[in-house]
Amino acid sequence: MTSFVPGTKLVIEEKVMINIGVLTSGRGTNLQAIIEAVKEGKIEGRISVAISDNRDAFALKRAKQNNIETKYINFKNFKNREDYDKKIVEYLKKKDVDLVVLAGYMRILGSYFIKMYKNRIMNIHPALLPSFPGLHAQRQAVEYGVKVSGCTVHFVDEGVDSGPIILQKAVEVKDDDTEELLAERILKEEHQIYPQAIQLFSQGRLIIKSRKVFIKKRSI
């Protein structure tokens, strides 16, 4: 059984602020939602760094506009995935990161990374896992003909989209939905539940027992 125990962190008005490290490869709308939630005090934490494998990721621009440190790490400069992951972990440790948030990060993390941040890496997936893991989840849902899909925030383990589930939100699939229309409606919900899950983590309220995540009630 594990839960995050806040350590010697910045304390503002008696609140422990966790350090969040975001890994991102693309447009960064989830990063933006997290940035807004931090600004509004809905997440007791701060984004210490946004790291990308893509120099041109729009997410990096969003981070810079919000005075968040950014780091581009080029995969091509490394022998293999483990060496690449080691570089990222080294950077996250340097920034004293407590929680790693994958926000549209297009690389699979290797076992070294997962071990170094066990139960401290989150991902968001645009389907109700365990349905439709992997790429093009919204397309998979439309093609399969499900009536309901949605999004899932989960901890990352060594499988693909297979880690313990933290929060899910259902979204109706309409008869005339395209992949794009469904993706747009799911994305709105992603922007709600990802910040919520991060806040639960920062409050130390996520308890993992084997593959189940329990949410502790708020202590008053």
Residues that bind ligand GRF (CB under 6 A): 26-30, 103-104, 124-126, 187, 190
Exposure class string for 30-66: b at 16+ Cβ within 10 A, else e: bbbbbbebbeeeebbbebbbbbbbbeebbbbebbeee
Q: Is 180 helix (H, G, I), strand (E, B) or coil?
A: helix
* Cα 167 to Cα 122: distance, rounded to the nearest angstrom: 11
Give 117's Cβ-side CA count (13 Å radius): 29
Q: Is the distance from CB of 120 to CB of 18 less than 8 angstroms?
A: no
Of the pair 45, 126, the CB lying nearest ligand GRF is at 126
> Which backbone phi and psi does 6 adopt, to 5 degrees?
-55, 135
Give 205's Cβ-side CA count (13 Å radius): 17
Closest approach of Cβ 131 to ligand GRF, in Å? 14
Q: Is 12 helix (H, G, I), strand (E, B) or coil?
A: strand
Closest approach of Cβ 126 to ligand GRF, in Å? 4
Helices and strands counted in the chain (H then E): 6, 11
Closest approach of Cβ 150 to ligand GRF, in Å? 11
Of the pair 44, 190, the CB lying nearest ligand GRF is at 190
Closest approach of Cβ 170 to ligand GRF, in Å? 15
Structure tokens at 196: 């919520």
Of the pair 94, 188, the CB lying nearest ligand GRF is at 188
**What are the residue ranges of helices labelled H in 18-146?**
29-39, 58-65, 81-94, 111-116, 137-144
Of the pair 26, 164, the CB lying nearest ligand GRF is at 26
Of the pair 16, 186, the CB lying nearest ligand GRF is at 186
Asked if 125 is an active-site residue, the reply is yes
Choosing from 125, 136, 154, 191, which is the catalytic residue? 125
Active site residues: 125
